[in-house]
Chains A and B, each alone.
Chain A
């Protein structure tokens, strides 16, 4: 049996920071990236705020031939993957191609690219549709493009479970590491901040219509009124612990536990699946609830969903039994990109022994949460639980722990 899967490289593109250290500095300072949409005129729509990745100029990072064939989310993914590999100190050219895989999540593919081509089709005709449409918008594009750009031929994958998918991809990467793949690049970048994507997101009924950035996305607050969508996410490099040790790689932490569940049929009256996902992930990691130092919440920002999450946490940890935070209040919800970004935040919390805050939220007492609000909380962080839920009933939980804490003994 091969050993544990550890994270050795990180690449970030977030609304409050491009690049890991910019993102981390903003997150610790409580700096939000949520603002009025700039990519199109949102005046005619009931929701007008989003978390947009600032200052990203694809041409500065990618060869010109890749620009016309890629959606914004693919450009962000290619660059984040490059940063993650550089951060890991890995040169893909020096490794056997079949020993490297790519597993990403997606929620809507290259939707902005898709809108442009749909417009060409319906306003001008089929012959005006780009030759790149056949692959630029589909859900598999980021895995395919990262694989091609880095010469990675190992077992790869693409998973879709709305916001939960970001954790499911990391878990699938861990499976491939355990099955013997040397390096797996994983995570997700999502972006559909275009009018067509916006109309589709509005249909979820979960978008905040507030126009005040500090008051729009308030999970666990009595004033919660939906969420603000965002774009971005993170790419992580996973390696087998022994192989990482052999090359003296810097290790951020281990992907120690995982589970996914699906909610009961609507109207069944049965308990939602989130608590079970947490318990199964703890069992998978071989940990007791008391050993978790912090929970990165899904933080839906919809009262009913916030209650379900608070109930699940109370059932496992007890009321106010564990520190809970939601730094995504500074980025908005990034679809499948949100959870990989939370994993990065959790790993940096372990590295620096700092828990970043949930901003602008006054937690309602009825939730019974020890929510980290306002300021950064200091203290040792050895293990963190990251939660993500997808529309329809998808629940996923991942546990990360500090390198060296029983790493490699969980098989």
Chain B
């Protein structure tokens, strides 16, 4: 029996700067930024007061009043992105075999926005240690355990196959899609609704990144605050959003004549076993993840056309992954465009990996590589071609996308364009 392969046939996005794939790609291809001063709450007491927020009206996107009450913002994002992805795929989910359809959703911090808001109420502003259940929302258990996100998505499409939330911190968005691909390849499902969601812009998240100085204090210039690979960068900008993909077994997709965006050809993840938040400068574990993902995809490092970087805009990350790219790609690293869309839409923790997969798919579709915004003077330690400021017309058939996160997780995925899928 030939090896089962997994292809992407539908995409849906909800990102800072606009809801939907079209707005997302305009922002990225025009090099605009969606970072701004925080508006969700008064950020005055905090060190970092910028974020990439989504202007999102759940009712305008078809959610009912009860759905809005039931779901944390991150679940709402996932449901809206799922609807776009399914419509885009042309898949008739009501006719599909529910037993052969599964769901994986990534999230690093779950319903943190809902939990923060609810805690504030049940504790009466932090006064009560013995918090009062009489003031809790009825769906608080769904905030406690974020597998509710996968349940909500499964209900949208009627999936009855394997459903789960993948929560490996800031690599969740890659690992979720990687897990979906594993399930298709092993035969546990033929169609996977997969991706990731995050809505972390709450006082507790801002406070905890303040405490370790991971986020930028560049509050006076919010639109230019996310500056990966630039010598003046000083931390990441918190973001939010969701991306959902329809991933199908290749033969099935070909049979129904689906438009195929790309194949998920290789995926691997490794841990640095070093520090919960720190990175060693050599990037050895990310390099190993990239090597294994390339081998699995039977891709020569020299045929990578574009690297979608983690590019969070912290000094340690930018150097860490630059070292990893140099280790695996060698001289080819210097000839390959590398860019970070976090410069435009911030770092949405567990969601960003899936948003970056969609950005990679769109780069292949348009043969345009999105830029790294705000990159004027590169850190001398970061000596690759980071596509500063302006998108580039660039033949893009094979993309490497990577992620790195708290807990030491390092993940890599290789996507190949529709031309290679045919063979």
Contacts and interface: CB of A to CB of B under 8 A. Distances in A.
B36 to A, nearest CB: 20
Interface string A124-158: 11110111011100111101110110111111111
B271 A160 contact: no
**Number of contact residues on B: which range applies?**
35 or more
B141 A203 contact: yes
Contacts of B143: 200
A154 to B, nearest CB: 7
Interface stretch (B10-18, B166-174, B396-404, B415-423): B166-174
B160 A262 contact: yes
B52 interface: no
A409 interface: no
B206 interface: yes
Contacts of A118: 116, 119-120, 123, 126, 204
Interface string A151-179: 11111111111100100100010010000
A251 to B, nearest CB: 24
Given A139-B110, A139-B167, A148-B275, A115 B211 contact: no
Interface string A95-118: 001100110001111010011011
Contacts of A392: 142, 147-148, 150-151
Contacts of B206: 126
B166 A196 contact: no
B212 A134 contact: yes
B20 interface: no
A256 to B, nearest CB: 16
Contacts of B268: 155
A375 B73 CA distance: 49
A204 B138 CA distance: 8
Interface string A380-403: 000000000011111000000000
A159 B165 contact: yes
Interface string A9-51: 0000000000000000000000000000000110011100000
B120 A204 contact: no
A121 B406 CA distance: 22
A360 interface: no
Contacts of A124: 126
A233 to B, nearest CB: 15
Contact of B146 (A139, A141, A202, A260): A139
Interface stretch (B23-31, B61-69, B129-137, B243-251): B129-137
Contact of A203 (B140, B161, B167): B140
A273 interface: yes
B311 interface: no
B274 interface: yes
Contact of A154 (B125, B167, B204, B270): B270
Contacts of B148: 391-392
Given A140-B168, A196-B131, A204-B141, A154 B45 contact: no
A119 interface: yes
A98 B270 CA distance: 8
Nearest to A266: B155
Given A154-B271, A391-B145, A161 B203 contact: no
9 nearest interchain CB pairs? A144-B407, A122-B126, A123-B126, A392-B151, A126-B207, A203-B140, A139-B167, A200-B144, A262-B163
Interface of A: 40-41, 44-46, 69, 97-98, 101-102, 106-109, 111, 114-115, 117-127, 129-131, 133-135, 138-141, 143-145, 147-148, 150-162, 165, 168, 172, 175, 192, 195-204, 259-266, 268, 270, 273, 276, 335, 390-394
Given A119-B129, A127-B45, A393-B151, 7 more contacts: A138-B167, A139-B146, A147-B408, A195-B129, A199-B140, A262-B163, A391-B141
